[in-house]
Amino acid sequence: MNKDVAAGPAQRALDSARRVLAIEAAAVAALCARLDAQFAQAVQLILACEGRTVVSGMGKSGHIGTKIASTLASTGTPAFFVHPAEASHGDLGMITAKDVMIALSNSGESAELLAIVPLVKRRGAKLIAITGNARSSLAREADVHLDAAVAEEACPLGLAPTASTTATLALGDALAVALLDARGFGAEDFARSHPGGALGRRLLTHVGDIMRRGDAVPAVRVDALLSQAVIEISRKGMGMTAILDNSGRVAGIFTDGDLRRTLEKPLDLRTTPVAQVMTGNPQTIRAERLAAEAVKVMEDYRISQILVVDEDRRLIGALNMHDLFQAKVI
C-alpha cells in the first residue's frame, strides 16, 4: 500500500483529535476569567448545608452530574445524584429543606429539570445552577448561577455536547476542591472514604494490623549460641531472629546477611555466642505506627525485616517485606 495513502486517514484523525483537545482546553481556560463572587457564594451555600448536596441533570449533563456527585462525596461533601425524570415519579422525596441542589443543563431549559425546580425550592432547598446560558429559565430560578458557556462545541456539527460537558465537569471539580480546601479535608480523610483502594491501605493500615505475633516471631536470648539462632531463623522463616535481653527488650538482631558474613570467619557455630556476631541497636518500630512508615524505614536503611516494640523496647512483633506485600501496602 502506498504510504502516502495510508498516512492520509491517520493524519486526519490526529488533526481532528488535536482540534478537539484545543477547543476543550480553551473552554476550560475561559472559565478562569469568568469565576466571580457567584462561585464563592456557591461554595458557602454548600458549606452551610446541613443536609446533602443533590446533583441532577438530563442526558450527557446527567452523566457529568453523576461524576460530580461522586467527586464531592469522596472529598468530604456528602452528595448523591438524582435523575430529574425519576424525581418527578417519587425520587423527589430524597430531597429535603436542608439540602442544596446543583442542577446541570447547558441550555438551561431542560424540561425535566424545570419541572422539579419549583418543587425543590418550595421544600426550602437552595439551588445552584450550572448552565451555558445566563439568561435561561434555570439560571433565573437559581439562588446561584455558575456560567459554563463555551465558544463552540468540539463536535464539528456543533451538536454533540463535548466542550460544554468538559467545562461543566471542570467547574464541578473546582467546586469539590474548593470545598475540600475549606473543610481542611486531608489525605487520611480521603483514605477513609476509599478503604478498598491502594491509598486506603497505605493510610489506614497500621503495623499492629499486619505484624507477626507470639510464637511466629523469631527470638532468642542474648546468651544463646549462634547455632540456636540459626535454628530459630530456619524454624520461623523470616530471615532473621531478634536477640533479647533478660527483660525481653531488644538487644540486637541476627539476619541471614549476618550469617553469611559470619560464615566467612573462622568461628564455631556450636560455641560462639550470638551476641558476638549480632547487629546491635537495630531499627525498630511501634505497633501503632502506619505500615507505610515501616516501609519507609526499611527502604531508607535497606533492610528486609523490622522488629516491633512497645514503649519499653520489649519485643511484641515483627514484619518483613513479604508481610507488607501480602497486605498490599506496597
- With 80 as the cut, is the pLDDT of residue 164 above it? yes
pTM of the shown model: 0.63
Let me know if residue 231 belongs to a domain: yes
171 and 229 belong to one structural domain? no
164 and 214 belong to one structural domain? no
Share of the chain above pLDDT 70, in %: 91
Let me know if residue 196 belongs to a domain: no
100 and 22 belong to one structural domain? yes
21 and 99 belong to one structural domain? yes
221 and 297 belong to one structural domain? yes
Task: Say if CB 76 and CB 175 are below 8 A apart.
Answer: no
Residue 224: per-residue pLDDT: 95
Let me know if residue 318 belongs to a domain: yes
Residue 1: per-residue pLDDT: 47
All three cell numbers of 148: 459554563
177 and 254 belong to one structural domain? no
- With 70 as the cut, is the pLDDT of residue 318 above it? yes
Let me know if residue 7 belongs to a domain: no
Read off the pLDDT band of 181 (50, 70, 90).
confident
265 and 179 belong to one structural domain? no
Let me know if residue 90 belongs to a domain: yes
d(CA 222, CA 254): 11
Spatial CA neighbour of 52 closest among 80, 14, 24, 84 = 80
Residue 325: per-residue pLDDT: 87
Choice among 44-48, 87-91, 125-129, 316-320 with the minimum mean pLDDT? 87-91
All three cell numbers of 196: 478498598
Choice among 2-11, 14-23, 82-91, 210-219 with the minimum mean pLDDT? 2-11
User: What is the three-state SS of the chain?
Assistant: CCHHHHHHHHHHHHHHHHHHHHHHHHHHHHHHHHCCHHHHHHHHHHHHCCCCEEEEECHHHHHHHHHHHHHHHHCCCCEEECCHHHHCCCHHHHCCCCCEEEEEECCCCCHHHHHHHHHHHHCCCEEEEEECCCCCHHHHHCCEEEECCCCCCCCCCCCCCCHHHHHHHHHHHHHHHHHHHHHCCCHHHHHHCCCCCHHHHHHHCEHHHHCECHHHCCEEECCCEHHHHHHHHHHHCCCEEEEECCCCEEEEEEEHHHHHHHHCCCCCCCCCEHHHCCEECCCEEECCCEHHHHHHHHHHCCCCEEEEECCCCEEEEEEEHHHHHHCCCC
Choice among 3-17, 112-126, 306-320 with the minimum mean pLDDT? 3-17
Read off the pLDDT band of 324 (50, 70, 90).
confident
Let me know if residue 270 belongs to a domain: yes
Residue 165: per-residue pLDDT: 95
Q: Give the residue, 2 or 124, on which the prediction is more confident.
A: 124
CATH code (residue 277) = 3.10.580.10
Q: Give the residue, 20 or 157, on which the prediction is more confident.
A: 20
What does the pLDDT average to over 93-102? 91
218 and 175 belong to one structural domain? no
Q: Give the residue, 6 or 13, on which the prediction is more confident.
A: 13
Which domain does 49 fall in, by range?
Answer: 12-185
Let me know if residue 246 belongs to a domain: yes
- With 80 as the cut, is the pLDDT of residue 6 above it? no
What does the pLDDT average to over 274-278? 94
41 and 177 belong to one structural domain? yes
Q: Give the residue, 72 or 88, on which the prediction is more confident.
A: 72
* Mean pLDDT rounded to a whole number for the chain: 89
Let me know if residue 191 belongs to a domain: no
Tell me the sheet residues that pair with 36: none
127 and 25 belong to one structural domain? yes
Spatial CA neighbour of 63 closest among 190, 155, 166, 178 = 166
Read off the pLDDT band of 292 (50, 70, 90).
confident
CATH code (residue 47) = 3.40.50.10490
Number of other CB atoms surrounding residue 230 within 10 Å: 18
Give the tens place of pLDDT for each residue, 7-45: 688 888 999 999 999 999 999 999 998 899 999 999 999
How many domains does the structure of the chain reveal? 2
Read off the pLDDT band of 188 (50, 70, 90).
low
Read off the pLDDT band of 76 (50, 70, 90).
confident
